[in-house]
Amino acid sequence: MLTYNKSLKQLSRNLRRNMTDAERLLWSKLRGKQLNGLQFYRQKIIDNYIVDFYCPKLKLVIEVDGGQHYSAEGREKDKKRDNDMMRVGITVLRFSDREVLGQLDVVLEKIWGRLSFIKSPLTPLCQRGEMEKIDPLDYANTLIFK
């Protein structure tokens, strides 16, 4: 079970009520198990973070990034956050809000393409204790689409 910071509950609720247009659009395609029967949650608290979308079965986070994520400070925070997620076995996919709003089909294809990737090659590596052989930064970079 994942830990979460209980003090973020109200902020998480507020974020669910005030989703961006891009988040709302992507949520319309993820909700109700529309994507391969997988359950996604929105504005989910994981540790000290609130992630945009989370699929517990695949341990997959999907982030929709607005402009603040492209500053040097934003990129550094995202890198730390992604590394923290990876340490607990969570895969992070990132998309810009422009991608979601302008190329939703492409975004959904990229998510769909990662579903089988996440299910197969990483699970055996983790089970065999070989995950430490993968450079975390190289792995994280393969999961970021911009």
- Give the tens place of pLDDT for each residue, 25-68: 999 999 999 988 999 999 999 999 999 999 999 999 999 988 66
* pTM, rounded to two decimals: 0.76
What's the whole-number average pLDDT of the chain? 82
Fold classification of 6-142 is Endonuclease; Chain A (3.40.960)
111 — pLDDT class (breaks 50, 70, 90): very high
Contacts by 55-61 with C-beta closer than 8 Å and gap 24+?
Answer: 58/91, 58/115, 58/118, 58/119, 59/89, 59/90, 59/91, 59/118, 60/90, 60/91, 60/92, 60/93, 60/114, 60/118, 61/85, 61/90, 61/91, 61/92, 61/93
The ranges assigned to domains in the chain are 6-142
